[in-house]
Structure 1
Amino acid sequence: MTSSKELPPFTSPFFPNLFIKNQFFTKPRFPPQSTNLSDKVAIVTGSNTGLGLECARQLLSHKLSRLIIAVRSSAKGEAAASSLRKQFPKSSIEVWQLDMSSYDSVQAFAARLDKELSRLDVAILNAGMGRAAFGTSPDTGHEENVQVNYLSTMLLSILLLPILKKKSPVGFPGRLTIVTSMLSITAKFAVKSEVPLLPAFDRADLFDPLDNYPTSKLLGQLFIWKLTDMVSADDVVVNLVEPGFVKGTELQRDIGGATRIILNLFKSISARSVKVGASTYMDAAIVKGKESHGCVIMNWTIAPYAPFQYTAEGKEIMKRLWEETLNEFKFIDVNSILGSLKTV
């Protein structure tokens, strides 16, 4: 099967062409009823509400033995876990604290996984942020959307790789699925020529409320393209999943006024349900195999990355972003971690 990196990029505009096809002319696919996750252990980040919670529910419906709900608010996580425990009393459901705006919290979470788990099969990184107003993380000083959607998600991905490699059963590679958005196709990425690149996102004068979220997801795609070249699919299968436009999530919870009214109306007409949206996570993390390593999965099918990544400029920016991000993560001795994952 052709990988995302080998596919030709999209030539049709995202709006309205791809959007209409995705939302109105694509049939949902759910895992086979025979899917059995007995004995498996999974974590889902941002799983106290919306897509993350529904994904947790779908994993448990296939007899998942142990689920870790990774959330910023332990109280909200326990409320979600309580409802799931009533529905799935035979499964072990735990709430672990994870604040994706904090590097310290991400490191502590990964260290706890490594210390306390004897097995880990699946990690689904769903936690995200879509704030329309500029703000910075108190812990890092970075712009919030880029911190959560890109920097902390990539840091957690790197930290999880050796854990998944070590703690998944022989012959059954661990699975790391990272939620993306094909709004990345629409990203203007206006700061791409800034040198250095990452500090440009922390400047309020360069913040674009309409473009920041798509660009933050594009950054993840640029990084994962290179990261997956360093990981064998025999050890960990890493892919990106695009759930589509989904109602019933809290991603745009900070949007108010007339914009919120218009958005909710648009959702009522065109958005997928959280059940359908979460089925894309299940497909990427449970159904798809090694052929999906390093791929973007959209509409339950392997799809190209954002067109920008296939251009000469995109490849140059990808290289620069990779180097700056590894330098950002030097506090974890990132080169040693990646060196342990090399495919050759």
Structure 2
Amino acid sequence: MASINGRTALVTGATGGLAKAIATALAREGATVVVVGRTEARAKEAVRNIRAAVPDAILEPLACDLSNQASILSAAEEFLSRHDELHVLVNAAGVFRKERHVTADGLELTFATNVMGYFLLTNLLLDALKRGASRDQGHPSRIVNIASKYSGGPSVTKIDFDDLQTAEGSYSYLRSTPPTMLGRVLLTQEFAERLRGSNVVVNAVHPGLVKNTGLLQDVGGPFRWVTNTFGKTAEKAADTAVWLATSPEAAAVTGKLWAKRKELPTPGMGSDTDARKRLWEECMRLSKIL
């Protein structure tokens, strides 16, 4: 693993579970890690917890509600007021909700957080990522998006562009969440295409089942039992994301989905160029801040 001493990383959802393990690993490697939590109190608590594990860690808390576009804009502006460059962006925040909720922006909460949050924050930080990449051509800036290879199954997952907000029919997390995981893969590919030649690489990660994650606190029953029984620890699940964020081997790879440091085929519509471009256009249309 390459040293990232003196470089800056930002990790969303870093107050617990997988994202916190990623933030801790990057801090241990010497990066300045901006720890993003939904509230300032949660971000500061995560900083204290990570520092307990890595006493010499350089950490900064940053509040950002990824379901709220004004909060995303405010967080990006706060980061940019302190940092001219960004070298690693890990989009790991997400929700897995049993009931349908609508955000202040009028968007369904799962889509707003899991897709729009990734899209908006990444776009707002692109110039900082490009500046970080221009410092040393041998060290590209990295964007790592936590996604999933399952996404409802390799042959059945689709994004319903006529019902992105899951407003029609009955709502369930099994209906609302898989398309957002596919959406993350599509956006990873589209960002990679748009960033070719910029020395910024973008990849998605399937971490697998992760034990004791707060992501499933709203979901009970067998699903949570299976995850906590057979899932990996957050530290083990973080390995591929940290590898993509730091390793020389991953420096030239972009637009791919990974698990266990190996490239995976993309799920469902993942090979559909038109679908990824249409999702980009829909995200732009729904944005109030770009």
Give the structure-2-normalised TM-score: 0.90
- 1:278 aligns with one of 221, 225, 238: 238
Larger radius of gyration: 1
Decide whether the 8 Å contact of 1:136 with 1:202 is kept in 2: no
Alignment of 1:166-185 (within 5 A): 166-168=131-133, 169-171=135-137, 172-185=139-152
Q: Which residue pairs with 2:54 in the alignment?
A: 88
Query: How far apart, CA to CA, are the structure 1 residues paired with 2:228 and 2:33?
Result: 31
Aligned pair in 2 of structure 1 residues 233, 173: CA closer, same or farther (>3 Å)? farther
Matched, 1:118 2:84: yes
Query: How far apart, CA to CA, are the structure 1 residues paired with 2:3 and 2:273?
Result: 40
The unaligned stretches of length 5 or more in structure 1 are 1-31, 333-344
Matched, 1:299 2:260: yes
Give the structure-1-normalised TM-score: 0.76
Q: Which residue pairs with 2:16 in the alignment?
A: 49
Decide whether the 8 Å contact of 1:123 with 1:177 is kept in 2: yes
Query: How far apart, CA to CA, are the structure 2 residues paired with 1:206 and 1:316?
Result: 28
Alignment of 1:285-324 (within 5 A): 285-287=245-247, 288-310=249-271, 314-324=272-282
Alignment of 1:152-231 (within 5 A): 152-168=117-133, 169-171=135-137, 172-186=139-153, 188=156, 192=160, 194=162, 197-198=163-164, 201-203=165-167, 205=169, 207-231=171-195
SS of equivalent residue, structure 1 residue 42: strand
Please state how far the C-alpha of 1:184 moved relative to its aligned partner. 1.5
Aligned pair in 2 of structure 1 residues 202, 142: CA closer, same or farther (>3 Å)? farther
SS of equivalent residue, structure 1 residue 141: coil
Query: How far apart, CA to CA, are the structure 1 residues paired with 2:161 and 2:16?
Result: 37
Please state how far the C-alpha of 1:206 moved relative to its aligned partner. 5.1
* RMSD (CA atoms): 2.2
Deviation sequence 1:276-321 (CA, Å, 0-9, x none): 11112101211242432111112211222114233xxx44433432
Higher relative contact order (CA 8 A, sep 6+): 1
Letter in 2 for 1:249: T
Letter in 2 for 1:77: A
Q: Which residue pairs with 2:94 in the alignment?
A: 128
Deviation sequence 1:142-185 (CA, Å, 0-9, x none): 11110000012111121222211013423122111111111225
Aligned pair in 2 of structure 1 residues 235, 206: CA closer, same or farther (>3 Å)? farther
Decide whether the 8 Å contact of 1:141 with 1:202 is kept in 2: no
- May I ask how many residue pairs the two structures share in their alignment? 286
Letter in 1 for 2:180: S
Alignment of 1:259-270 (within 5 A): 259=221, 262-270=222-230
Over the matched positions of the two proteins, sequence identity in percent amounts to 23
SS of equivalent residue, structure 1 residue 296: strand
- 1:69 aligns with one of 19, 31, 35: 35
Query: How far apart, CA to CA, are the structure 1 residues paired with 2:65 and 2:28?
Result: 27
